[in-house]
Structure 1
């Protein structure tokens, strides 16, 4: 009898520990979503130094990686966790969790954190987002994105780029070359966010309701990207 009671108590403690761990992970993901919304808001607060309206209006997906980590001494590396949403016939989709990793871009000593924004500009960019993993510059064409109201004029990004890439560090927002960076699905965090193993395609094509933790992020993207399409 005592053995059975002890066994049941042990199961209860394990269940409690697993539940607490899941709650902690979901809180972390919710924080990442809120940080991603803040990145978009802060970038777009100054239109003359933000993502051009023509790009916002034509975007098919948006990826935001708050505080992309870089650490290096001559040879560097980066790694970051982010979230992505795609445009659908019913509005912007619920988000999925992604991760980005790659070699060093530029000479650097020390470590710093940078916010990254990646904009998919066509259906091929959307198809890349549905893959388990792809590399910018190899599997998907990417270019440093133009900045400002009229910055897109005279460029060939519409013809060549599946993705436009941006960075923001210490208040400076600019296009950045992310060739060699690998973008992959974070299935574990996506499962924590939705409570089930829902395929990325189901979510990004708009067939999954947006969870409460993600509503601010999706609304923020919709606010700027839908307004851009209406004003173009």
Structure 2
């Protein structure tokens, strides 16, 4: 099915794609969260993260923890995601960050997830903090723990300097990636 607009033909998929772009912009939300709001959400996300068997062991070896409590993703064919979070060192927030990514391929709908990135080595944390914008897969790699719902994680077999966890209300999510995600420092102080 096509519609004739002016002298050009527009297909239904193209029309739906255009409508999607108008409904789900990839740009940051109009109301950016305050530092206090982000810190409260980070506290809740870390509490939820610790409910995953073995997660506390990773927090125990962390030199720094980057937490994005709510990362929203939406798309039809082309998607985008955005979230704001905080980097904690020694249990205290030292910087605020945003994460953004675009994706292509079969996708339909919207979802929210939480992301925790743990830096287990000082050198990895320092490199991250000194960067202007850190893109997963380009500026550094993140070993993603994706064992699925209901199973425990342990530090015995995972020795990478940067480890990522993606989780929702039911625990760790699997078959997801952080590849292409960009972390950018925010001015929230």
TM-score normalised by L of structure 1? 0.58
SS in 2 for 1:74: strand
SS in 2 for 1:76: strand
Q: In 1, are the aligned partners of 2:145 and 2:164 still within 8 Å (CA)?
A: yes
* Deviations, residues 129-187 of structure 1 (Å, cap 9, x unaligned): 2322111111112111266655444x3x41xx332111122323246521111111102
- Provide the rounded CA distance (Å) in 1 between the counterparts of 2:73 and 2:165: 15
Q: In 2, are the aligned partners of 1:140 and 1:162 still within 8 Å (CA)?
A: no
SS in 1 for 2:177: coil
* Deviations, residues 77-111 of structure 1 (Å, cap 9, x unaligned): 11111111123xxxx44431111111238853111
Please name the residue that 2:163 is paired with: 164
* Deviations, residues 6-29 of structure 1 (Å, cap 9, x unaligned): xxxxxxxxxxxxxxxxxxx89733
Please name the residue that 1:30 is paired with: 36
- Provide the rounded CA distance (Å) in 2 between the counterparts of 1:170 and 1:72: 21
Q: Who wins on radius of gyration, i.e. which is larger?
A: 1
Sort the Cα spacing of 1:149 and 1:112 in 2 relative to 1 into closer, same or farther, 3 A: closer
Map 1:41-60 → 2, pairs under 5 A: 41-46=47-52, 48=53, 50-51=54-55, 53=57, 55-60=58-63
- In terms of fraction of residues, the more helix-rich structure is 1
Map 1:69-80 → 2, pairs under 5 A: 69-80=72-83
* Offset, 1:125: 2.1
- Provide the rounded CA distance (Å) in 2 between the counterparts of 1:137 and 1:182: 9
Aligned residues: 154
Q: In 1, are the aligned partners of 2:42 and 2:86 still within 8 Å (CA)?
A: yes
Alignment RMSD (CA, Å): 2.6
1:144 is the counterpart of 2:144: yes
TM-score normalised by L of structure 2? 0.69
Gaps of 5+ in 2: 1-30
Please name the residue that 2:26 is paired with: none
- Provide the rounded CA distance (Å) in 2 between the counterparts of 1:105 and 1:58: 35
Q: In 2, are the aligned partners of 1:132 and 1:185 still within 8 Å (CA)?
A: yes
- In terms of fraction of residues, the more strand-rich structure is 2
Please name the residue that 1:65 is paired with: 68
* Higher RCO (CA < 8 A, seq sep 6+): 1
